[in-house]
Amino acid sequence: MSGRRPSLRSAIGAMLAKELRLELRAPQLLPAMALFSVATMIVFHFSLQRDAVAGSLAAGVLTVTLLFSAMLGIARLFVADHEEGGFDGFLLAPVDRSALLIAKAMALFLFLVIMEVVAVAAYALLLLEPAAGARLLGQTALTLLLADVGIAVIGTLVGALAVQTRARDLMVPVIALPLLVPVVIATAKLLAPTFAQGGAEALPGQWLAVLGLYDLVFGLLAYGLFDFLVED
């Protein structure tokens, strides 16, 4: 190995590969998140006492299910690194510190997408009333992808904050849920017409803009703040 500093991109790539390899070898986060999302749907089925949901109710149930499953992932995101000395190892490497958090955010984003593939399929099978056509799936996918960016960014920030605290598992939902309320509002508003008409209408532009703005602002902010979260 030459004495050259590895570029930010290769550092992120290595960290991301490490995250995915860990999850592949000893699946921990993904099965838990997917199982939890399906279990939440069963809870909704019994607590709402409905066999099928449509419209804004369907949008709300899906949004809450995915958000709470995401909380599981956020709470565990940094625990292994904190307990097994991953942070120390990373800090010894001559790479930009934000690489760790960018890789974590990308890993969380990927986990969320994979979990949602399972969760939305289960949802369409178990609870969703309108038949899942191509337009409905397309609109749902676009909305959820935009929401995932926001959840991944906020989740990485809050997860990195919370892992340093004594009350780690308590801090994550208490801080992350209020911060994610705009995402919840926009996601629910976007999915409601989709689930009411089976995707016949275009998505409301203003809520797409809210989600995009949220992702942009917190993405830039997180990029600027990541450096301060790994210092030690």
Partner 1 sequence: MYAPRLPVWSVATLIALVGGFAVAAFVAPMDADQGFMQKIFYLHVPLAIVALVGFVFAGVCGVMHLRSGEPLWDLRSYVAIHVSLILGIAVLITGAIWGRAAWGVWWEWREPTLVSFLIVFLLYCTYQPLRFSIEDREKQSRYASVFAIVAGAFVPLNFIAVRMATPYIHPRTLDAANENLPGWMLGAFLLCLLGVALLYVTLWKYEMAHKQLTFRLRALQRRLGGEVPTTRSAAPDLSL
| Least Cβ distance, residue 107 to partner 1 (angstroms) | 20
Helix (H) or strand (E) holding 102: helix 98-126
CA 139 to chain centre: 18
Site for partner 1 in 150-209 (CB under 8 A): 157, 161, 164-167, 171, 174-175, 178-179, 181-182, 185-186, 206
| Least Cβ distance, residue 51 to partner 1 (angstroms) | 27
- The percent helix, strand, coil of the chain (3-state, each to 5) is 80, 0, 20
Q: Residue 16 or 163: which CB sits closer to partner 1?
A: 163
| Least Cβ distance, residue 168 to partner 1 (angstroms) | 8
Q: Residue 120 or 203: which CB sits closer to partner 1?
A: 203
Bridge partners, 128 (sequence order): 53
| Least Cβ distance, residue 115 to partner 1 (angstroms) | 24
Q: How many residues bind partner 1 (CB under 8 A)?
A: 26
69/33 Cα distance (integer angstroms): 5
225 lines the binding site for partner 1 (CB under 8 A): yes
Q: Residue 93 or 225: which CB sits closer to partner 1?
A: 225
Count other Cβ atoms within 10 Å, centred on residue 33.
24
Options 98-106, 110-118, 140-148, 218-226: segment touching partner 1 (CB under 8 A): 218-226
State which of residues 12, 58, 192, 229 lies at the interface with partner 1 (CB under 8 A): 229
Q: Residue 73 or 173: which CB sits closer to partner 1?
A: 173
C-alpha distances (whole Å) from 16 to each of 3, 87, 171 are 23, 14, 25
Question: What does the binding site for partner 1 look like in residue numbers (CB under 8 A)?
Answer: 157, 161, 164-167, 171, 174-175, 178-179, 181-182, 185-186, 206, 210, 213-214, 217-218, 221, 225, 228-229, 231
